Structure formats: structure tokens, C-alpha cells
Structure 1
């Protein structure tokens, strides 16, 4: 972009801001230390574990081991139960699918949702690169998407961040929104990703259409997912602010926010969206970490990752 817009903290992001995010990786434990293993091994034993694994060794079966991993050949030969040990596969691709659409160009909290999406993508990208994973992604807007092939290089991540900034700084309220931009982006992701990849989906909470949900279900068959739907307090509750008027491309809308039934119906819609994401995450057995513009992103991530949540780890 030849003439970047002036800095507007919380409204638009800059490349310098996303690069600076690398210094905040240590504030939240997205990936645990590889320990004594090769640094090429990437996400070893992290909170973002997945199904992509390599065989490591065989040892004597211990109470609590998964019976499905018993090595029956060794067991038959030694007459003592042995189990296979695995570690996560090397050079695991991390694919960050980040939305930068018109519906994210809004916020009543600390920042716009579009800024929150860019910050989350940047933090996860720097954390993954710091653990020698191949990092790439797809930035999608209302009518376009930009794909960066996963590579284990700072240049690849910088390409992704630069694209995030360029799309973010081009956002405005006049463009017509594509209701199923997420679904189209997921179709592309399914075409380019290999099995065992970890896909980080950062999108508007309102983006979960029937088509997008179907694509997420298909993607989850071969890849691991982490879902980060973004919301703003005004997505879930209307303030009792009297008569509000909205205008868009000639169309006008009036809402009486003092109307109790209207506020209750609006709240119910917000609760239904939250419930739909939760149900999908349970069905796919993937990690769900909703983020809000109301509080600081790293604090929210730290709260999720430190919580002892039931269910299958990623």
C-alpha cells in the first residue's frame, strides 16, 4: 500500500504493531517447551496437540495407557503387555485462517473486531514460528482471499502479517458484505492443506452459516482445528438508549431500544450464536476460544489455556 492510513489504535492495525506482538508471546503459553527433543519437532506436547504423530518407541504397558496403542506383536513375543509411544509429527503446518471483512470493522470495546483478529493471528503466528513450525495462512475479506503457503521462515509469517495489514487498512463501511465469505475460505483451505495440519480459524461470531459449518466439519476429518469466533458486547445485548436510527446505502432502520421485547429477542439471537459455536466444537471435539473486544486479548487466551477444561485436548 503506497499511502498507508495514519495510525488509529484500536481501529486499524499497522505492520509495526503486529511485528511487535512477537515480544508478547512469552505472556501466554500457547505452545509448551520442546524440552530435549529436536527443535524441528514443532508443537510437541503443547496445549494445541493434534492427531499428527510419529511412532517413537515401545515400552511396558502401564495402568492408564490407552489399550488401543498396545503392540500385540511385542506383547506376544515377550508375554508381557507393551504399548506404543508416539510424539507429534515434525514440521507440522500451522494454517491461520483470518477474517478481515466489513462485518469485523466495528467495535464498542477496546478495539474493532478486525484489529482483534489481526492481533490474535499475529500472536499465534509468532508463537508457532518460535517453535519451528511451518506457518502460513489465508486472509479473507468480503470478496477476496490471499493465501500464504506454510513455510518455516520469518519471511512467510511477515507476508501473512503484511497482507493482514493491507486488507485491514482497506476496510470501510461502503463495501457490500459477503455473508458466506468464511465458507468460501474454508473450501480453499481444504484444497491446499495436507492431513495433520493445525488450522486456526479466526472469524466473526456471526460467520457460522450452514455452509461454513459443513466445511468446518469436512476439514476436521483430516486436520485439527482451533476456533476463535470474535464478538463485541453489542453483538449480544442492545443498550437501553432510546430510538436509534441506522442508514446503509439508502436504506434506513429505526430501533426502539427501550422496547423490552426487542432487547430480549436481540439477546436471544446472541445467545443462540454462542450456543451454536459451542455445539459445533463439542461435535467436532476441537478447542473453542471465543474472543471479545471487551477485554485484552492475551488475558483472554491465558484464561482459556490455563483452565482445566473437560474433553479431548487438541
Structure 2
């Protein structure tokens, strides 16, 4: 493990992740009394009855879901009545966060690994403030560490400590592991019970066929929130002339002024984003892509504004 002092934007610090607790009021990621998050209920139609508790029966009003009509009360009173539900409290929320070599890069405000750490902390503090149980799994190229979901600040701090340790251990000589993401997803399926919510924070480029299969299996019994992380250079190659790369004896030379090369590079980057879009639509789960180009809270606020527009009548 490299004993480098935390450098803002390059490495995350525990103080920075703890400080994130003051930002959760700015974005209602989860519903609170009087404020309903547009993320809640977006994909519960196929999982009816999971994640909600019965609240009361009242007279049917225009716009109510006819599937919730209470026929016994309706027959007894000769007036349509509908059942109301509220969100289940103390829901297990699990943050699956990547801290691999491929995240150890950034060309804008911060490295992708730092943005992932910030987002994990934000979700953790939001979940704790919502009275939910919070836990997670931090995975790298060579190992993973699990924190069992509990409704306690100690559990979240344990997760953040583990996250910082993985983050500050990152360096450019780590041997990459293409299967790390799929293995982490498989482990998540093994440890979580149905009805949990998993926030997936990973490099946009880490999605492959194996990982996609694991996400589809996970989505059968677990609610997902997908937050793939990208950098502007993942989508557009800089016009920097002739570049030479040397890694473990392998040499690569690129002419970044070549139009065909730049177009191919851009198309592959756009296809990665499109693949995440198709997967989210297929699984009917929210997709909130993040970029190192912007501040985390601003991005989350913008995403939720779009979600509200999408579900507005």
C-alpha cells in the first residue's frame, strides 16, 4: 500500500467523505416526510408490494391506481375506496463501489476514483438520514471488503474507512482485473436479501457481458441504482499530436490528429454510454451517470430534476 498523503482530487480523505453529510440536504435522494424523491417508485411496478407498507384506506380519488382499490371496503360502503402505502423504513441500502486501477485517472476536477468515493459517501449519509440500514462492498482489482448493512453511524464510518484505504492504495502499477466487477456483483447477490437497494458505482468502461448478466440476475430481487463514472477523455481524444505509450515493455504510438482514429475513439465512448442506457431501460432501473467534469451534488441535482420531468403527468 502506498503511503501517500491525501491530495485533493487525486486521493480521497476520510474528512472529505465525512464532510459530505452536510450536503445531503441539498438533494432529496430518498423520500422524506413532505418530500418525495423521483427515484422512489420508478421501477416498483414489477415488484408490487416490495419496499412499501400498508398505511390506510381512504375514498378513491381521480388519479389513484385502480389496482389499489380495496374491494371489501368498497362493497361494504358502496363507495370506491383505495389502499394507501408508505415506504418501508430501515430498508437495507448497499453501496457497491469500485476502486480499481482504471478509476485512477481524471482530466477535470478530480480522479474518477475520488468521484466514486464522494458519491458512495453521499449515498451513505442520505440513507442514514432516511433511517435505512447502510452497508456496502468496496472492490478493487485484487480484493473486496464487505460491510454488513446496519442502521448506525459506526457502520457507515467503517465503510468510509475501508473506502479511503482502498482509494489511497491506488497507483498506476496495479495489475488490472477485468472480472473484478462481475465477481463483486456475484458476491452482492449472495449476501443481500430481496428488497434491498444497491447503488452501483463503477467505471463506465467496466461493463462487459459477464457483468451485465450479473446485474440482470441481481435486478430480479434487488432494486438497483446505476451510477457509471466517466471522464471527458473517455469520450473524446485530445488533439495532442503524436503520442507514445510504454507499459510493461509494450509500446503504442498514436497520431491523435488522425481524423479516423479520433472518430473511432469517440464512437466507442458513445457506445459505452448507450450500452448503459439500454441496460437501464431493460432492467427498468434509474441511471445517473457521473462525470469528473462537474461537482457531484450539482450532477445529482440535475439528474433528479430530469427524473421529475419524466414522471410528471
TMscore range, shorter length: over 0.9
Q: Shift in Å at residue 115 of structure 1?
A: 0.4
Equivalent residue for 1:117? 116
Equivalent residue for 2:260? 261
CA deviations 1:191-211 (Å, max 9, x no partner) are 111111111000000111111
1: CA distance, partners of 2:310 / 2:283: 14
**Aligned-partner SS, 2:23:** helix
**Aligned-partner SS, 1:98:** strand
CA deviations 1:12-67 (Å, max 9, x no partner) are 111111111112222322234335xxxxxxxx843332441111111222221111
CA deviations 1:234-281 (Å, max 9, x no partner) are 100101111111111111111110110000000000010111111111
Are residues 1:241 and 2:240 paired?
A: yes
User: Which structure 1 residue ranges, 5 or more long, are not aligned?
Assistant: 36-43
1: CA distance, partners of 2:203 / 2:26: 25
User: Which structure 2 residue ranges, 5 or more long, are not aligned?
Assistant: 45-50
2: CA distance, partners of 1:260 / 1:252: 22
| Alignment RMSD | 1.7
**Aligned-partner SS, 1:288:** coil
1: CA distance, partners of 2:57 / 2:65: 13
- 1:1-314 → structure 2 map (5 Å cutoff): 4-35=3-34, 45-50=36-41, 51=44, 52-307=51-306, 308-310=308-310
C-alpha contact 1:94 1:197 (8 A) present in aligned 2: yes
1: CA distance, partners of 2:27 / 2:191: 30
1: CA distance, partners of 2:222 / 2:210: 18
Q: Shift in Å at residue 311 of structure 1?
A: 5.4
C-alpha contact 1:45 1:88 (8 A) present in aligned 2: no
2: CA distance, partners of 1:126 / 1:88: 18
1: CA distance, partners of 2:38 / 2:127: 12
1: CA distance, partners of 2:186 / 2:99: 17
2: CA distance, partners of 1:225 / 1:205: 16
1: CA distance, partners of 2:217 / 2:297: 30
2: CA distance, partners of 1:99 / 1:7: 18
C-alpha contact 1:285 1:311 (8 A) present in aligned 2: no
C-alpha contact 1:94 1:198 (8 A) present in aligned 2: yes
TM-score, normalised to structure 1, is 0.92
1: CA distance, partners of 2:282 / 2:250: 39
Equivalent residue for 2:47? none
Q: Shift in Å at residue 180 of structure 1?
A: 2.2
Q: Shift in Å at residue 171 of structure 1?
A: 0.8
CA deviations 1:267-305 (Å, max 9, x no partner) are 000010111111111111111111001111111111111
CA deviations 1:141-186 (Å, max 9, x no partner) are 1121100000010000000000000001111111211112111111
1: CA distance, partners of 2:188 / 2:80: 42
**Range that drifts further, 297-306 or 268-277:** 297-306
**Aligned-partner SS, 1:176:** coil
2: CA distance, partners of 1:155 / 1:208: 32
**Aligned-partner SS, 1:17:** helix
TM-score, normalised to structure 2, is 0.92
